[in-house]
Amino acid sequence: MLELEHISFDVQDEKGQKEIIRDISLTIPAGRFVAITGPNGGGKSTLAKLIAGIEQPTAGRILFNGEDITHRSITERAHKGISYAFQQPVRFKGIQVLDLLRNLKDKINSSIMFITHDLGVIAEMADYVVVMYAGRVVEKGTVQEIFSNPAHPYTIGLMASKPVVGKKVDKLYSIPGKVPNPIDMPNYCYFKDRCEMCVPGCEGEYPCQVQLSPTHFVSCYRYYDNKNQGGEG
């Protein structure tokens, strides 16, 4: 089992400090497929590099079966069985590739975290889904929860953008606007400037994580009346 606790990652360039990943906590259980999705620039690839040891987090801890591996090298992690395949060579296209991954996971009882925009692949493969937006996890849950009951307005828009078998549409829905620039992040919800579901409170600080079920979490003011409000961003 792999656990990420409050992971952040900053980079410095000539324009100043950029926060690429902010306060990410999640668990990748043993023997499961976890899909990471979200828009380009959402921090998905950086998160995978932090897990593999290609980059080092600027804050937080990474635990592998309870052992702190935050500062272990790529080689040390590889010896423990943590490895990273770049997106380009491993395209999740074709039942052939998907079956190979399934067989590999079962054979060595490993977990596989994969990054994809392809909702069909997520529905086919994933046990859990993590939705990232602008370097934050905005929603996470089981594949059933994310597909049947998406909670964050970004995820709701994402689901509305997927083609439905047997339903003829002239144009697929696309979410208006752009992901904010990491050097100029707002001090309120990062999705607010694109959100069509704002409620009173959205102009406040970045929303905390709210627990909707034992496995379903969302960061959004729409759920602030939920009793199980968590403290993580």
Site residues for ligand SF4 per CB under 6 A: 152-153, 189, 191-192, 195, 197-199, 202, 207, 220-222
Q: Which residues contact 187 (CB under 8 A, 6 or more apart)?
A: 205, 206
Q: Is 142 helix (H, G, I), strand (E, B) or coil?
A: strand
Nearer to ligand SF4, 31 or 177 (CB): 177
Min dist CB 25 to ligand SF4, Å, is 19
Nearer to ligand SF4, 18 or 192 (CB): 192
Min dist CB 219 to ligand SF4, Å, is 7
Nearer to ligand SF4, 101 or 202 (CB): 202
Min dist CB 204 to ligand SF4, Å, is 9
Q: Are 136 and 187 in contact (CB under 8 A)?
A: no
Q: Give CA torsion, residues 34, 36, 37, 41, to 10 deg.
A: 180
DSSP characters for 13-42? Answer: ETTEEEEEEEEEEEEE-TT-EEEEE--TTS
Nearer to ligand SF4, 43 or 53 (CB): 43
Min dist CB 174 to ligand SF4, Å, is 17
Q: Which residues contact 219 (CB under 8 A, 6 or more apart)?
A: 136, 137, 138, 139, 152, 189, 206, 207, 208, 209, 210, 233
Nearer to ligand SF4, 64 or 154 (CB): 154
Min dist CB 147 to ligand SF4, Å, is 19
Q: How many CB atoms lie within 10 A of CB 65?
A: 11
